[in-house]
Structure formats: C-alpha cells, structure tokens
Structure 1
Amino acid sequence: MLRLALAAAAALSPLPALAQEITPDEAQRIDAAVQKALASTGTPSASVAIVRGGRIVLAKAYDKASESIPQSRPDLPYQIASVSKQFTAAAMLLLQRDGKLSLDDTVAKYVPGITGGDTITLRQLLSHTSGLQDYWPQDYSFAAMEKPTTPQGIVDRWAKKPLDFAPGTQWQYSNTGYVVAGLVIEKVAGEPLLSFLQRRVFKPLQITAMDQDLAVGQRYPQGYHRYALGPVRVEKPAARGWLFAAGELAMSPSDLARWDIARMNRQLLTPAEWQAQETAVKLSNGKDTGYGLGVQVGTENGRAQVEHSGEAVGFLSENVVYPDDKAAVVVLTNSDFGNAFTTIAEDITKIVLPAKADTTSADEVAKTVQARRLFDQLRTGTLDPRLLTDDARYYFTKEAQSDYKASLSALGEPAKFEAGRGPRLRGGFVNRNYKVTYGDRTLNVITYAEPGDNGRYEQFLVQPAL
C-alpha cells in the first residue's frame, strides 16, 4: 500500500526537484500518529499529503470517509473551507496585475451599500482589518444556515451593520469581508469567482477543485459532528451558498499540495505577488497582525511558516507550508470537532522535518471561573439558558444537552480547568479557549461570548483532545 501511495504521489508532482522519500520507519510513525489522533478524538477519517524537497512524497487516506465509503481514498475531495481564502486573495492579486483593480481601491468603487465602503480598502478585506462583522464566528451551523443564501444575502444582513471598529485599527477575522471581496472579483472579472479560479489558477497548476456545496452525496466524504463526548453523528450539511469566497472549495490533499509547491517555487503568481500575500499587514498604530492576504504568517517552533486552517459544517482542515524547508503538510478531516487535524499536522512535521526550538508563548488566562461554571452545568444537566444567546440556545437542543450530560458526567470531577488561547475578537464576540484535564485524558472547550463582564455565550463547545 505504501509503495502504491508513494508512486501515486510522485505522479502527482509537477516538479522534478529532488526530495527525500518517506522512509519505512517514518511511514510507520506517521500511520501511528494519524490512527492515534483519530481514535482519541473519534474523528472518522483523515486524508494527508506531505511535501518534502519541493514535491509530494506521500498521499494517504485513513478510515471512514462516509457511511457509503468505509475506506477513504487520497483522491477524494474534502471540504477545505477557509483554506480557500488564499485562493480568493490570489484572484485579486491577478486582477491587480491585469490592471483591473488596485488593492488600495475602496470597496465602494465596486460594491455599493457596504458600511464604511468609502473608506475600507480591498487590502483590508483580505487582511481582516476592515471592521466588517463576521457572519459565522460559531463552530456550528446556526439556524439561518438551514436555508440557502447568496453572497448578496450575506452582504445585506451583515455587511450593512455598523462597523466593529474603524478600518485598519484592529484585526478581526471576518468571513463577511471575504464575501465582499468575492463580489468585487466577480464584478471586475466579469465571471463567477470559481470560473475565474479554474481558468487562471487551477488549470495552469493541474489542480482539481470544485464547489464544496456540490461535494455532497454518496461519492464524497461526509461530515460528522459530536456533542461533547457523545456519539459521533452524521452532520447535516448547511444549505447552499454560505461560504462562497470565504471558503467554497473542496479538493484532495494532493491538489492543495500542488498549490503549496507553487508557493515554494514562486509559480503562477510573481515573486512580488507571493511576497505581498505572505507579508503581515500592519494596523494603523504599527502593530503587526500576523496575517497577510488570506494566510497566517510567522514563525512556529523556530520555522518560518505560511498557514491556514478551515472549518466547514462537518469538516476541519489544516494546511501549513514551511517555505525555507521546501516542505508542507496538508491534513483534511471529516469532523468539525476535536483537534485531530492540527495534532496530526504537528506530529507529521516532527517526523519529517528536523527539530527546532519551540518558541510558543505562554497561554493567556481569562474568565476561567465563568467558563468552568457553565461547563459544570453541562456535565450535571443544569444548563441555565439565561447564560446563552439565542443562537447558543438553538444549538443546545434536548439531544445536545443529553449527550453533554451523559458523556461528561461519566468522567467525574475534572482535575484541572485551565485557560488556553484568548481573548480575541471575532464576529462581535470574544473567543477564549480552555483545556480540561481528567488524569491522562484532556478535553478542549472553545467559547465565544458577548463582550463585557456579563456577556452571554454564543458558543460553548466541548471536544475531545489528545
């Protein structure tokens, strides 16, 4: 099986660059890391691709892709969600090269009716510094997503609200900004965004990509969800139209790896355009955001990296490129719970790249007492709905509360409840994460709450961790 996977990976690579093949020992360790992550979190499947020395050296899929595909395959297209943002940004860079727009143009020049559109620049849309409120900060499918929408529908509901801050003064992740960017691209290009990407990006790089709304049914991977540590359940897809330029793509890990190789070798885009995408945008006060145009940029464990993750309904993905090492790791999973996707990527990186010093900063501690209070209510079945927003009350159905209570109460009293990442602003809420420890078992808690001392929770998700 390994020889077949390596042969397939070699055939997929468009580059003759020399690369160190995956050794039998590395392959065994990779398999063990993936299987451990899947088993520990309950994630049904993972599909991975590894680039080393500038070419794909491994493409392999693990376990159940769907109820109709008991064994996943490396060629199956998983929904990559927000990893798509770098393609939207690339489309705008290509249109700038064509002389059809400038990233310093204001939004109002192309799309009317956007709040602050006469001061928000296209660059600010792509760098999440526009001030437009995010329409999907939650890590679950909220009530409105049961009905189809359009880019204009999203704009009308969210991009005409008051700005969360003056453009350029703060960084806040905003899917709304990318929907507006997609509308700009379509108006300037005179064709649908996906059509433009197929013509100018995917076909030249021999990438097979499709609209994730169409990647559903018996031929495709199926998304899964889990309430706390309850049963892993098939997740109902969102209605069509909810991601668009913010995350509309589905592709295989090898196809995404082709794009990573183009990045390493400065293909398709010019070196200056790649550099523009990978340069962190600064705020008006000079602060570095750590985010370029559709990608996170910085240093992790002593290595320069270009990274982005993605979340669709039932899917999580991680794409990280180490340009100085000519390496990349792509991990696509069909669950929207747990940290298997990032843990697998981290473990593979440790296996295939030489170790460097860990420069991770200390965790920020905030509002732990409030979060622990709600956690205890969920595990004891005493949830107080007054602590939740309307969307959170919609999420915590009787079934959800039953799964939370049954699975968490069985673990008993936690040994530790600690703050992790946070706080950061998104969609008008404050995101904070926590880690819950039971002896040798760990859970992650991902929260969004209204600002202020007594802000209600928009999201409080408990997920398995490694």
Structure 2
Amino acid sequence: MKPRHLLTLPLALIATPVLAQDLTPTESAQVDTIVADALAGSGVPSASVAIVRGGKIVFAKAYGKQSETMTTASADRPYQIASISKQFTAAALLMLEDEGKLSLDDTVSKWVPGISGGDKIKLRQLLSHTSGLQDYWPQDYSFAAMAKPTTPQGIVDRWAKKPLDFDPGAQWQYSNTGYVVAGLVAEKAAGKPLLAYLQEKVFKPLGMTAIDQDKAIGKKYPQGYKRNALGPVRVAEPAAAGWLFAAGELSMSASDLAKWDIARMNRTLLPADDWQEQETPVKLTDGKNSNYGLGVSIGTNDGRKVIEHSGEAVGFLSENVVFPDDKAAVVVLVNGDFSDAYTSITGKIAKLILPPATAAAAPANDETAYTARARTVFDQVRAGTIDRSAMTDDLIYYFNPTVTGDYRESLTKLGDPTSFALRRPARLRGGFVNRNYLVTYPDGRKLSVVTYAEPAASNGAPGRYEQFMVMPAE
C-alpha cells in the first residue's frame, strides 16, 4: 500500500536523535516523515537508522516499538543484521591471509574435509557465492528443522555434502552454506572462535559493539515480528541457536555498522588492497560479471559507485548501502521481516542526502506462463483453498492453520487486483528459482509476492513451490 502522508508523528515514533547536527532541521524532519510513513504503511513495528555524510555519522535515531516491553525506542539497541555479517566473515579471511595463516586460493579440502567438490572449490569462491554449494536457507521463513538447535558442522553434514549445483566458478548463486564453511576455515586458521577473532581485530579497534544474534534475545533487545500477508503483526519465534553462524550471526546498532562503513570509505583498519579485493566484482568462468565481490554487492547508482548488502533473520530485515566516493552511507534496521519498508526507507534517504539518481529500465523477460501460475496460487491463498500438491513439504509446514487463516482473512477483503506482474527477472537461489511479483489494487495499494520454486522438470512440468509469501510493498 502507498502510505498516506502523516501530518504529525505519533508519540510512539518520537525519539531523540544522537548525532544530527550536520543535517538541517528540514532534512531531519524529512527523514522522520520517510520512516513514519514506511512504518505506518507496512505495519513494521520499528526502525533504527544511521546516516553517514562527509565521512562521519551525522544522524542516528530509532523509531517505533522495539519490543513488547520497551516503551521508548533507543538508537543504541542492537538489531540482528543477518547476512550483512558476511562482509565481516570475508574480512576475517582477508586478514588471516595477511597474517600468512591461509590463502584465498587454498582449496576447501585443505581446511574442511568431506565437502562436495572440496578439492576444486577455492576459499575465495565460498566468499563470492561461486562455489556451487547449495544454499541451506533460501526461504524467507523458518522451516521445520530450524525449531531445533544446530551447529556449523550439522549444516555442513546436511547441505555441503550434497552434489554441487554447478562447477565452481561457473555461476553465481547465493549460498549461506558456503559462508558456514568459510567460518569453519577462519576458526581453524585463527585458532579461536570467529566472533572472538572479529572482536579482537575489528570491533574493538573501531569502537563497535557486536554480539552473537543467538544471544541478542530477551528483555534487553529488540524483538522480531512477522506478518502473514496482511494479517495481524505477531511476535516472531526466533530460530533455535546455531542457524546463522558465519553466514549471519551478528547483532549491532545502526551506528556501529556505520562505523564499519566509515572504515571502508577511509581505507582504515584493513590494508587498502584488502578493501579493494572485497569490492572487486568476481568474474565467472565464462567472463560474465557477477556484480558481487567478497561479501558485498557492487553496483552503480546514477554513475555513482555503490557497495551494498542486505540481511534477513527471523523477524528482522536490514539494509546497508555505502557510496564510498561520496563518503556517504545509509543503514536501516527494522524488526519486521514482512515488508520492503527497509529498502524503501533506505532509497528515500539516499535520494535526500545525494543528488537524484536515474532509474534503470527493467530488463525484458518472457515469463508469461510462470506469472499466470503464480497468479493462480495467489488467488488460492487469498481464498484459503490452497492446492498443497503444488507445494513442497517445507511450504506445507509454513502454511499452518494460523498462516492460512491470516492470508485468507487479510487478502479476501481487498477484492480483485488490477495487475499481477513480474517484479524482477528469475534467479537461482539454494537450488530453487526465485521470482518476485508486484500486485496492484484499484485504490493504489501494492503487495509484493516472493516465490521460490523447484526448477522445471525435463518435460517442462513446473516445479513445486518452496515459498509463496505475500507482504506489503512500497
């Protein structure tokens, strides 16, 4: 839904800025409105924002309800940053290489035995998502196994010993599994836990406070929330311990993450060539650009270099965008995993602090049959008449009676949409094909549909859906 502009901020959204002196009063008010509109329109309970301009933090502020027991939002509280953690894991391996304890051109088998293709996969391919190891968590929900604790070795034994999805270096496919393996390598080379190594080499030198997200649970910490379609916003049950490790184990405040962004801009802490290596897009064996380095995405915005990564944990979403040549960055952390509010806030703040960018045209793609099928399933979930034969066991587990009821009750009342369109081209993820759709209604309301499906069979029959999630769109 396109949120209505608010004339005044609700009391729950009023907080004291930490460092706002370099934003004009007008700019600060605009940031407040951007965040307030996004939270009101999406139902996301809270957001924590940090802005870097001119190479320093000029704004840090939290908004909304951070938990059921916290009455006032605080910018100092840590949110789970999930996959943004990957760039710290990559930095650890780069530093260990500087110390002569490993080489990024080592094979995985030198460090961790029993990995599929371990004698061919290089450590740098783990960090660039080109290893071919299948992603163990492509879904945007907790699947059944995540109700029980696991260990890095447990993840390796279940997913990293499957046949490779492709030859190392041949494709780019996001893989949390590869980062779990990378974390095990880092711990063996460092001779200590990964988080302890990062505390010593990164967090303490930069004055950052970072903790294990499995420990960032309880009355002192922001709480994660979920929403089934447009149903009620509910407290999310955290995954059991051990499911993120080196792929996304960190919790920190927006300001702490901004300190890391400033080190990136200024080429401090790490040698300049390490920063450059992390930010250099990896080329695939066919010469194509992956647009991904070692733990970060690399792109351009109106000719401006952008270093970016997002993150998703149970009940949390995060976005970190750095404009290194402009000495600017935007960090947005939210405690709801059901909307694109976090990216909407980020984009609008970036436009506020930087010159306007020119939007790129969406690539053409013939997806007619897949879009029609997705529309059929969308109609089923909003009517509560789900064809479970088109779903994997994981998705059947997700669509329990509560979720099914929330989808039916919240979507039926909207009536029929005016359009259902592919939002971006299909891409591989965790052995599945990801397609996202935008649903538009006559009153201007918009929904996002995020799907993952098994690849089509050799006879052309479509694969079952592993994920079919509906959420508010900006």
Structure 2 length as normaliser, TM-score? Answer: 0.94
Structure 1 residue 418: Cα displacement = 0.4
Contact 1:319 1:331 in 2 (8 A): yes
Work out which of the residue numbers 412, 415, 438 in structure 2 matches 1:412. Answer: 415
In structure 1, the residue matched to 2:401 is 398
Q: What letter is aligned with 2:462?
A: N
Amino acid across the alignment from 1:244: F
Q: Compute the displacement of 1:258 (Å).
A: 0.0
Deviation at 1:178, TM superposition (A): 0.0
Q: Structure 2: how far apart are the matches of 1:4 and 1:332?
A: 16
Amino acid at match of 2:431: G
* 1:264 correspondence with 2:265: yes
Distance, in Å, in 1 between the alignment partners of 2:100 and 2:417 is 59
Residue identity opposite 1:115 in structure 2: S
Which residue of structure 1 aligns with residue 382 of structure 2?
Answer: 379
- 1:21-100 correspondence to structure 2 within 5 Å: 21-100=22-101
1:9 to 19, 29, 32: 19
User: SS at 2:402's partner residue?
Assistant: helix
Task: Report the alpha carbon displacement of residue 381 of structure 1 after superposing the two structures with TM.
Answer: 1.3
Q: Residue 445 of structure 2 is aligned with which of 430, 441, 444?
A: 441
- Whole-angstrom distance in 1 between the partners of 2:158 and 2:35: 41
Alignment partners' CA distance in 2, 1:301 and 1:451 = 35
Identify the residue that residue 141 of structure 1 maps to in structure 2. 142
Per the TM alignment, residue 465 of structure 1 is displaced from its structure 2 partner at its CA by: 1.1
Whether the 8 Å contact between 1:302 and 1:358 is mirrored in structure 2 is no
1:342 is aligned to: 343
Structure 2's unaligned 5+ residue stretches are 1-10
Q: Name the CA distance, whole Å, in 2 between partners of 1:61 and 1:171.
A: 36
SS in 1 for 2:205: coil
Name the SS for the 1:257 alignment partner: helix
CA–CA distance in structure 2, aligned partners of residues 146 and 301 of structure 1 = 44
d(CA) in 2 for partners of 1:280, 1:360: 22
Alpha-carbon distance in 1 for matches of 2:16, 2:52: 13
Amino acid aligned to 2:317 = L
Change (3 A) 1:363 1:223: farther
**What do residues 40-75 of structure 1 show as CA deviations (whole Å, max 9, x unaligned)?**
111000000000000000000000000011332100
Report the alpha carbon displacement of residue 303 of structure 1 after superposing the two structures with TM. Answer: 1.9
Gaps of 5+ in 1: 11-19
Shift of 1:422: 2.6
Q: Distance in 2 between matches of 1:364 and 1:43?
A: 32
The amino acid across from 1:449 in the alignment is A
User: Does the CA-based 8 Å contact 1:302-1:359 persist in structure 2?
Assistant: no
CA distance in 2, matches of 1:361, 1:98: 44
Q: Deviations over 1:320-339 (max 9, x none)?
A: 00001100000000011100
- Partner Cα distance (1:374, 1:276) in 2: 43
Cα separation, partners in 2 of 1:3 and 1:146, compared to 1, 3 Å? closer
Tell me if the contact between 2:281 and 2:289 (Cα under 8 Å) persists in the aligned partners: yes
Shift of 1:236: 0.2
Match of 2:3 in 1: none
Alignment of 1:418-457 (within 5 A): 418-439=421-442, 440-452=444-456, 453-457=461-465
In structure 2, how many angstroms separate the alpha carbons of the residues matched to 1:423 and 1:356?
A: 25
Give the match for residue 128 of structure 1: 129
Relative to 1, partners in 2 of residues 1:311 and 1:3: Cα closer, same or farther, differing over 3 Å?
closer
Q: Please provide the CA RMSD for this pair.
A: 1.5
Distance 2:142 2:161 in 1: 22
Q: Are residues 394 and 331 of structure 1, via their aligned partners in 2, closer, same or farther at CA, if it must alter by over 3 Å?
A: same
User: Does structure 2 conserve the Cα–Cα contact (< 8 Å) formed by 1:363 and 1:420?
Assistant: no
Q: What amino acid is the match of 1:263?
A: R
Aligned pair in 2 of structure 1 residues 33, 295: CA closer, same or farther (>3 Å)? same
The whole-number CA distance in structure 1 between the counterparts of 2:151 and 2:285 is 33
Residue 359 of structure 1: how far off its partner (Å): 2.8
Q: Which amino acid aligns with 2:466?
A: E
Distance 1:319 1:387 in 2: 36
Alpha-carbon distance between aligned partners in 2 of 1:456 and 1:219, rounded to the nearest angstrom: 41
Contact between 1:9 and 1:254, CA under 8 Å: does it hold in 2? no
| Maintained 8 Å contact 1:363/1:419 | no
Which residue in the other structure is 1:13 paired with?
none
**In structure 1, what residue type is equivalent to 2:470?**
V
1-structure distance, mates of 2:252, 2:361:
31
Residue in structure 1 matching 2:392, options 389, 393, 399: 389
Shift of 1:5: 5.0
For 1:4 and 1:312, the matched residues in 2 are separated by 25
CA 1:201–1:362: 2 relative to 1, 3 Å: same
Q: What is the distance in 1 between the residues matched to 2:213 and 2:249?
A: 5
Match in the other structure for 2:8: none
Q: Map 1:348-387 onto structure 2 (within 5 A).
A: 348-362=349-363, 364=365, 366=367, 367-387=370-390
Say which is worse superposed, 398-407 or 252-261, in terms of deviation: 398-407
User: Residues 56 and 391 from structure 1, CA distance in 2 versus in 1: closer, same or farther, beyond 3 angstroms?
Assistant: same
* Alpha-carbon distance in 2 for matches of 1:219, 1:331: 20
